[in-house]
Amino acid sequence: DTGAFTFDPGFTSTASCESQITYIDGEKGVLLHRGYPIEQLAEEGHYLETCYLLLYGELPTAREMEDFEYRVTHHTMIHEQMSRFYSGFRRDAHPMAVMVGSVGALSAFYHDSIDISDPHQRMVASLRMIAKMPTLAAMAYKYHIGQPFVYPRNELSYAENFLHMCFSVPCEPYKVNPVLARAMDRIFILHADHEQNASTSTVRLAGSSGANPFACIAAGIACLWGPAHGGANEAALNMLMEIGTKDRIPEYIARAKDKNDPFRLMGFGHRVYKNYDPRAKIMQQTCHEVLDELGIKDDPLLEVAMELEHIALHDEYFVEKKLYPNVDFYSGITLKALGFPTNMFTVLFALARTVGWIAQWKEMIEDPHQRIGRPRQLYTGAPQRDYVAVEKR
């Protein structure tokens, strides 16, 4: 037992740790944050309220929420000198590459001022991360499309501010559509935390050495980028665009079932959920709301996605292996309709997941038994042997 993780000696060792933040029942398709079902949080609440819940463990009173929202809102600007980092990136750099770099660079601006042994400073660092991620994400997008950075505005809500920083331009007024802002906020809630997924485990392992939280979050962003994890939303939309029409679905279903073909249905399957990912249902509803609000009727991508889901859910291969749509299956269509390019999808996932990463980091640091994570291995290499001089090899 290394404190942060408990490994079984088995060949497929599964890392595990104790946490009070998120509970998943993969067989029943249940997701709870501090005991509250994701369906209720997404329907009744808003993202900053979920942030408060994940960090403090309880839903806030109106006064507590007002204070939390004020503190987050008034830390959304970043050090002006950080803007210069962006000009060092190639314009065509993937926005996730920019995010790994810019979030890691936050360490250079806040590292010395954070004493992680001090509970107050841990909370300050947590709020700074939550506050600044939308600004950094919007800057990554603006830099990528060659438009000027847009500063946050304190009178806007968290999701409104993000859409404003992404889509407004200095040349004309921009009014955030409240229906789209609500959809964006709900998408943030759906991605906020998800127990010990690969990127959260990365943040915990990095944090277990005492590294500063900004660098740990940058490590989490790097892990999330992979197409098997957070990169699946971008890969899922690219897959739907490649399929293009319903008549080509059987070809891709066959490829997904072919063990000799590395192709997998992106947005399908999950290490834990062996039932429908509850987030996918809410995401599908949100997708319909966004398309309706934008007057997009019969979106061909949505038609392909729904037909693909229908065929897969009745195909014995997917049924037998309990493969269902996950949170990434419908998110791409929704984000594309909101105006984002596919290479920004995982950036949005990282933005939303920051609260989960930082809440789990804080929980680990505050565990009195916490020690550095030190995974062990099953050695299958050469037995001990003596060195052989080069002339005798």
Q: How far is the CB of 65 from ligand SDX (least distance, A)?
A: 25
Question: How big is the site for ligand SDX, counted in residues (CB under 6 A)?
Answer: 21
Exactly one of 204, 270, 281, 336 binds ligand SDX (CB under 6 A); that residue is: 270
In the bound complex, which residue of the shown chain has the CB atom lying closest to ligand SDX? Answer: 269
Phi, psi of 172 (to 5 degrees): -155, 155
Per CB under 6 A, 41 contacts ligand SDX: no
Per CB under 6 A, contacts with ligand SDX among 184-203 are: 194, 197
| CA 67 distance to own-chain centroid | 26
Is the CB of residue 239 less than 8 Å from the CB of residue 256?
no
Residues 252 and 385: their CA atoms lie apart, in Å, by 49
Which region, judged by CB under 6 A, interacts with ligand SDX, from 27-35, 145-153, 214-222, 258-266? 258-266
Structure tokens at 102: 């810019």
- Tell me 67's DSSP state: H
Per CB under 6 A, 372 contacts ligand SDX: no
Q: Which is nearer to ligand SDX, 85 or 324 (CB)?
A: 324
Q: C-alpha distances in angstroms, 169 versus 173, 224, 321, 334, 387?
A: 8, 30, 48, 22, 66
Exactly one of 28, 271, 371, 374 binds ligand SDX (CB under 6 A); that residue is: 271
Q: How far is the CB of 25 from ligand SDX (least distance, A)?
A: 13
- Tell me 194's DSSP state: -
Exactly one of 86, 188, 268, 361 binds ligand SDX (CB under 6 A); that residue is: 268
Per CB under 6 A, 331 contacts ligand SDX: no
Structure tokens at 218: 């940058």
Residues 23 and 54: their CA atoms lie apart, in Å, by 12
Per CB under 6 A, 299 contacts ligand SDX: no
Exactly one of 326, 354, 360, 370 binds ligand SDX (CB under 6 A); that residue is: 326
List CB contacts of 337: < 8 A, sequence separation 6 or more: 287, 290, 291, 294, 296, 299
Q: How far is the CB of 182 from ligand SDX (least distance, A)?
A: 21
Per CB under 6 A, 269 contacts ligand SDX: yes
Q: How far is the CB of 322 from ligand SDX (least distance, A)?
A: 7
Question: Catalytic positions, please?
Answer: 270, 328
Is the CB of residue 218 less than 8 Å from the CB of residue 209?
no
Q: Can you tell me whether residue 302 is helix, strand or coil?
A: helix
Residues that bind ligand SDX (CB under 6 A): 194, 197, 228-230, 232, 256, 264-272, 321, 323, 326-328
